Every structure is written in C-alpha cells, then in structure tokens.
Amino acid sequence: MKTTITTSPLLKEAELRKAPVIVRVNEFNNKAAKEFADRISAAHNTGQSVIPVIIDSYGGQVYSLMAMISSIKHAELPVATIIEGKAMSCGAILFSFGDEGLRFMDPDATLMIHDVSTSVWGKVEEIKADAKEAERLNQTVYKMMARNCGKKDEYFLDLIHERGHADWFLDAAEAQSHNMANQIRVPKLNITVNVNIDFE
C-alpha cells in the first residue's frame, strides 16, 4: 500500500509524536492476536481517523481469529481491511470485519473459505466433543461473516454446503459479487499534517 504525507505550507518543519498505525496480518496464533490487539489499541492514540488492516495470510488458529474479531468490535475507529495477495480461512473471515465500504481487495488477490477444521487426537468422546466445538465455531464465524456482508445468517453456510464442504476459492470479482469485497483495488494512504486553530 502506497503512503503519501502532505504537510501544511505554514509549517517549517513537523514531527509526528506518534506515527499512524497500519496493522499487518500474516498469521493467526496467540502471538499474532496479542500484537493485533496492541496495534489496534495504539491506533487510537495517533490522531488517525481509520485503522488500515492489511491481510496476506493462509489462515491459522480460529481462537486467535476470535480474539482479533473482539479487538475490532471494541475499536472506536472505523477499520478498513485490505487483501494483498491472499486471505484464506481465518484471513477471509477477518476481512469481512472491515467497515462497510472499507473492504478492499487487490484485483489479483485470492480469498478462500472453508469449514472450520479440527486435528484432535484422543479418545472417541474427546473427538466427538472437539467435532461439536468445531461445528459451533463454524456456525458462529460464518453467521458473523454473513451479517457483515449484509446477508442472511445461513448464506455462506449454504454456499459451502452446496460445494460439498470443499475449499472455496474466490477471485476479487466473485468476492465483490457476494459483498465480501466492496472495492477491487488497494487504496493509497494519505497522511495530512495541518495547522488548526480552535477556541474553547
């Protein structure tokens, strides 16, 4: 993503006390979720008006995804999600949490969604319990995704079922047709430093 900084001609020199925060997501694990929460929190102290979240990921742990979703839900600033390269599995779900109108996808990027998977080993009852939890998470994340995209709760669950629960790959145009992506482009980030006068 290209960034330009414009400084008011009234300023001889300027120093940003805190640089704008751009959040990058490549992995979904405990460390990545903690860094994500810290970066979202830091963005609220820079004076920026929106939080860009750039996604280029094969996916990862669904519980880490849920932590990142919580961070976005509790953010007080709008969140723009941008796919550069790929947003698969957890990455695709996180992408849908960009504010309406602020979900950007590179024209050559790929989005992929599929059922929540499990790799548990153990006793039969443990496997059954894990499968039940995977189904619960599957229902939860895809209902949230549907609502984010202005669809009925079962919209994506039904589409995945129709495809035999196989991995579903979408290009940018197809993602836009389901209202996952709002804009097929990578935006340019413009930062403006101004002199403002205000009266109390």
Q: Taking the domains of the chain in order of start, what are their residue ranges?
A: 23-189
Whether the per-residue pLDDT at 124 is higher than 70: the answer is no
3-state helix vs strand vs coil in the chain, percent to 5 = 35, 20, 45
Residues 79-121: tens digit of each pLDDT: 999 999 999 999 999 999 999 999 999 999 999 999 887 555 5
Spell out where 8-164 has E strands.
23-25, 51-57, 79-88, 103-105, 110-113
30, two tokens:
């405990």
For residue 199, report the phi and psi dihedrals to the nearest 5 degrees: -115, 140
| Residue pair 47/14 in contact by the 8 Å Cβ criterion | no
Question: Per-residue pLDDT tens for 35-52?
Answer: 999 999 999 988 889 999
Model-level pTM?
0.86
Q: What number does CATH give the domain 23-189? A: 3.90.226.10
Element (H, E) at 189: strand 189-193
Range scoring the smallest mean pLDDT among 38-52, 62-76, 114-128, 173-187: 114-128
Higher-scoring residue by pLDDT: 16, 114 = 114
DSSP run (H or E) holding 38: helix 30-43
Take residue 5 and report the two structure tokens written for it. Answer: 């900084």
63-68 CB contacts, 8 Å cutoff, 24+ apart: 64/28, 64/29, 64/30, 64/32, 64/33, 64/90, 65/28, 65/33, 65/90, 65/93, 65/94, 65/141, 66/137, 66/141, 67/33, 67/36, 67/37, 68/25, 68/28, 68/32, 68/33, 68/36, 68/37, 68/94
